[in-house]
Amino acid sequence: MESVLLVAAGGAIGATLRFLVGHYVDSSQFPWATLAVNLIGAFLLALITFWYTGIPQELKLLLFTGLFGAFTTMSTFTLETVTLFYDGRFGSALLNFCANAGLCILGAVAGRYAGLALS
């Protein structure tokens, strides 16, 4: 139960921060807020992961799963791709990058068409 509460607390913080970025960053011409949270999340997740290697499991749940999970999903994807690359798994890193980017875009296109069809 403690794990669930840690994830929920981090998620509440992350979602609130994401809302605030979206509220204050002008995204009328380009999705700057989304780009901002993805870049910030990716940077901070990697920074914490590689800077503080002895991070306790409870703090991982609070920050990584909760806060960054709610703030952005891009941070986890980015860290996984960088880890694959620096582990020498270049093909897997490229596949992870292309599959995630490509499938997310295709999913958004499919969702758009489905939404238009249902409206």
Return the pLDDT at 9. 98
Rg from Cα positions in the chain: 16
pLDDT in tens, 4-31: 999 999 999 999 999 999 999 998 888 8
Question: From the annotation, which residues make up the binding site for Na(+)?
Answer: 69, 72
One-letter amino acid for residue 71 of the chain: F
The annotated binding site is made up of: 69, 72
Q: Which pLDDT belongs to residue 119?
A: 76
Segment (H or E) for 113? helix 90-118
Q: Domain of 49?
A: 2-118
pTM, 2 dp: 0.74
- Strand extents, DSSP E, 4-117: none
Give every CB contact of residue 91 below 8 A, 6+ residues apart in sequence.
none
Closest to 78 in 3D by CA, of 59, 108, 52, 100: 100
| C-alpha–C-alpha distance, residues 114 and 107, integer Å | 10
Region 74-99: what's the mean pLDDT? 91
pLDDT by residue (tens digit) across 43-67?
998 889 888 878 999 999 999 999 9
